């Protein structure tokens, strides 16, 4: 499943093949009918190179991109009689990530939906990833449902409230957005500029301009402080 793991193990066999080929060549040259045998050996070596080149060409196609690779792996896994669910889940997660990197959010949702439907020990991270994919497509109601499920499973993660609050805001539910973003700020272990910025914008949409400006100012302060810390670390 991971061709790169063959690099080191193949050193020994190829070293052995090269040594044997060299010794065989020396014996052939020294023999009476050396010319004919030497031509036959060269023909065999050329044939070997042609076959390996063809195999390499086929394998390069498999490694074209993440989607192609993980689709190939899934095809192999479906042909196996004994199926390891952990391996299948990892493959679907990786292909979903590859779809996301290509901007194919519908396909990402399809892979994550398969996991959510079939995984008996569902990782809440997969549910959140699907929610984010829904949000990127503007399907905010479906995103909010997934964020609800995430919060139900783990109600102490500020990121879940931040993401749901952001989805509420984009959906036009600014009151719910403020409530979620306030919750995210209150349970976060360290101040987050994005939390304050999004809440400030939602407050302004509700007409609470003074509170909104205060949050936006706080977000600017946090970002400036973060930039100064990064500059100090780089020095």
Question: Quick one: pLDDT at residue 230?
Answer: 66
Closest residue by Cα to residue 109 from 119, 121, 99: 99
Q: pLDDT tens track of the chain, all 235 residues? A: 566 677 888 899 989 988 988 888 787 777 766 677 778 878 888 998 999 899 888 888 888 899 999 999 898 888 876 678 888 889 999 999 999 999 999 999 999 999 999 887 778 999 999 999 999 999 999 999 999 999 999 999 999 999 999 999 999 999 999 999 999 999 999 999 999 999 999 999 999 999 999 999 999 999 998 776 666 666 6
Tell me, yes or no, if the pTM score tops 0.75: yes
What is the residue extent of each domain of the chain? 156-235
For the domain covering 156-235, report its CATH number. 1.25.40.10
- What is the pLDDT at residue 235? 61
**Span between the terminal Cα atoms of the chain, in Å:** 43
Q: How far apart are CA 19 and CA 6, in angstroms?
A: 20
Other Cβ atoms closer than 10 A to 1: 11
| Rounded to 5°, angle at Cα 17 from 14 and 18 | 85
Measured distance CA(103)–CA(96) in Å, rounded: 10
**Cβ 153 vs Cβ 124: under 8 Å:** yes
SS3 breakdown of the chain: % helix, strand, coil, rounded to 5?
A: 80, 0, 20
| 128 alpha-carbon distance from chain centroid | 14
pLDDT the model gives residue 225: 86
């Amino acid at each position: 499943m991971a061709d790169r793991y063959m690099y080191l193990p193949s050193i020994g066999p190829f070293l052995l093949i090269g040594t044997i080929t060299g010794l065989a060549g020396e014996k052939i040259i020294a023999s009476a009918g050396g010319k004919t045998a030497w031509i036959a050996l060269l023909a065999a070596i050329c044939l070997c190179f042609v076959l390996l080149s063809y195999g390499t060409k086929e394998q390069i196609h498999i490694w074209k991109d993440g989607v192609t690779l993980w689709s190939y792996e899934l095809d192999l896994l479906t042909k196996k009689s004994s199926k390891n669910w952990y391996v299948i889940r990892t493959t679907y997660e990786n292909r979903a990530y590859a779809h996301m990197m290509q901007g194919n959010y519908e396909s990402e949702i399809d892979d994550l939906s398969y996991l959510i439907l079939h995984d008996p020990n569902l990782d809440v991270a997969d549910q959140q990833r699907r929610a984010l994919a829904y949000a990127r497509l503007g399907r905010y109601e479906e995103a909010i449902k997934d964020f609800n499920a995430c919060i139900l499973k783990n109600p102490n993660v500020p990121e879940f409230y931040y993401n749901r609050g952001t989805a509420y805001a984009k959906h036009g539910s600014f009151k719910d957005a403020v409530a979620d973003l306030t919750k995210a700020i209150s349970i976060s272990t360290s101040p987050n500029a994005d939390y304050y910025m999004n809440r400030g914008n939602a407050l302004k949409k509700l007409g609470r301009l003074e509170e909104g400006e205060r949050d936006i100012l706080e977000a600017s302060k946090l970002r400036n402080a973060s930039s100064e810390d990064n500059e100090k670390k780089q020095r």
